[in-house]
Amino acid sequence: MKNFIYIIGTTDDFESIEDLKNTYFNGETERNMSAFPVSLSEACKVEGYDTLQEIATMIGRGEAMSADWCLDDTVSCLLEA
C-alpha cells in the first residue's frame, strides 16, 4: 500500500508550493488550506496513467473539487506519506 497526501491552499495565503508544504509539515492551521489522504494498492492500474503518483494526484484533486476547492488561484501538490 502506498499512502499520499494531496494538499491545496489559496494563493492569497501561500506564495509557493514550498510555502504550502512547510505550512503543512509545521502543522499550522490558521491559513486557508486542506489535506486529502489517498491510499493506493501497489497493483493499482488506471488506463492513461503511468504511476501511482499520477493516479493519487487525480484522486486528490477530485476530493478537493468535491470539497468546493477549484484549481483557479490555488497551489497544490502531492506528498508521499
pLDDT digits (tens, 9 = 90+) for 47-74: 999 999 999 999 999 999 999 999 999 9
Residues 7 and 34: their CA atoms lie apart, in Å, by 6
Range of the domain at 48: 2-80
Residues 5 and 53: their CA atoms lie apart, in Å, by 10
Count the domains in the chain: 1
Question: pLDDT band at 30, cuts 50/70/90?
Answer: confident
Residues 32 and 21: their CA atoms lie apart, in Å, by 13
- Which cell is 36 given? 486529502
The pLDDT of residue 58 is 97
Helix (H, G, I), strand (E, B) or coil at 39: strand
| DSSP β-bridge partners for residue 63 | none
DSSP one-letter code for 50 = -
Residues 34 and 72: their CA atoms lie apart, in Å, by 15
Q: Is the pTM of this model over 0.85?
A: yes
